Chain A
Amino acid sequence: MPSGALPRRVVLDASVVAAWSFHEDDTEEARKVQAALESGQLTGLAPSLMWAELQQICRRKWNVFRVAREAVEASYEASLLAGLTEVSGGLTRFRAEAWKWVKALNVGSYDAYYLALALSLELDVWTFDRSFRDAALKDPRTAGRVSVPGEDVFP
């Protein structure tokens, strides 16, 4: 995807959803993505796996960063409003493919599943995890397929 050109469909990882669900440095950029979803300009795919990762993030917000638990839970529940297109994403279907990317790129398993789903649909992944983007750059099969909104793409 050439820099600056917006795709019609992308896979969104949990960091993007977390950025508009909680007050983080990337919240304003995430809201631009959300606005594109709400307007129908962009279809943002989220595999069901994302809910598990988002729950982990919630735990981290209240355990590590001491954000009020009620506030975190309210935002988690509200994330259903985000305009995402939830797809099954295939925990079983992508088991081998995700494992391949864990080993090849040394990325986390969640990231590997997002990547496997995106590649199967010939789509890109959007994330605020710069280390995930940078890891993908190291392999010609994944280089340029993982982008950070506001840095690599501008919704």
Chain B
Amino acid sequence: MSIIAPDVDLAELGDERGVMIWSDAPSNDEAIIEIEEWCVEHDLLRTREVWLRAKLVNGDRWRGAMCYRPSPGIQEAMDADRAAWRRHVDRMPLTPSCAGMDND
């Protein structure tokens, strides 16, 4: 499997300027994984599509996702939302796990 990234300076990416990153992984799900992990290596975020756009290049199928570099403000908002969520969960009553509820 391999990745195609456009010939741009990734450092110039931001909230408003993203790029399509393409993977030739053999399935949609494997392409998502490959692109997502490439994004982690490059401090980028992938948008949340579950079904990626596909294109044929010389008969080979590539699947692409829009990726961008989150600004500090986006990261701060995510961190704040997660912290608020944890406080919310901590205030909820302790209840048993529902794991295995479909095993009856």
Q: For chain B, which range describes its interface: under 10, 10 to 19, 20 to 34, or 35 or more residues? A: 20 to 34
Given contacts A45-B33, A78-B81, A88-B50, contact A24 B96 (CB under 8 A): yes
Chain B residues 22-43 with CB under 8 Å of chain A are 28-30, 32-33, 36-37, 40
Q: Is A142 an interface residue (CB 8 A)?
A: no
Scan A110-136; emit 1 where CB is below 8 A from any B CB, else 0: 110000010001000001111110000
Q: Which of A92-150 contact B (CB under 8 A)?
A: 107-111, 117, 121, 127-132
Q: Which of B37, B99, B103 has the most CB of A within 10 A?
A: B99
Q: Among B95, B98, B103, which residue has the most Cβ atoms of chain A within 10 A?
A: B98
Q: A40 — which chain B residues lie within 8 A by C-beta?
A: 40
Q: How many residues of A contact B (CB 8 A)?
A: 51
Chain B at the A interface: SS class: helix
Q: Closest approach, in angstroms, between the C-beta of A129 and any C-beta of chain B? A: 4
Selected from A31, A60, A87, the residue in CB contact (under 8 A) with B101 is A60
- A89 touching B78, Cβ below 8 Å: no
Given the interface pairs A25-B94, A81-B81, the reply to whether A132 lies near B103 with Cβ below 8 Å is: yes
Chain B residues proximal to chain A, CB less than 8 Å = 28-30, 32-33, 36-37, 40, 48, 50-51, 78, 81-82, 85-86, 88-103
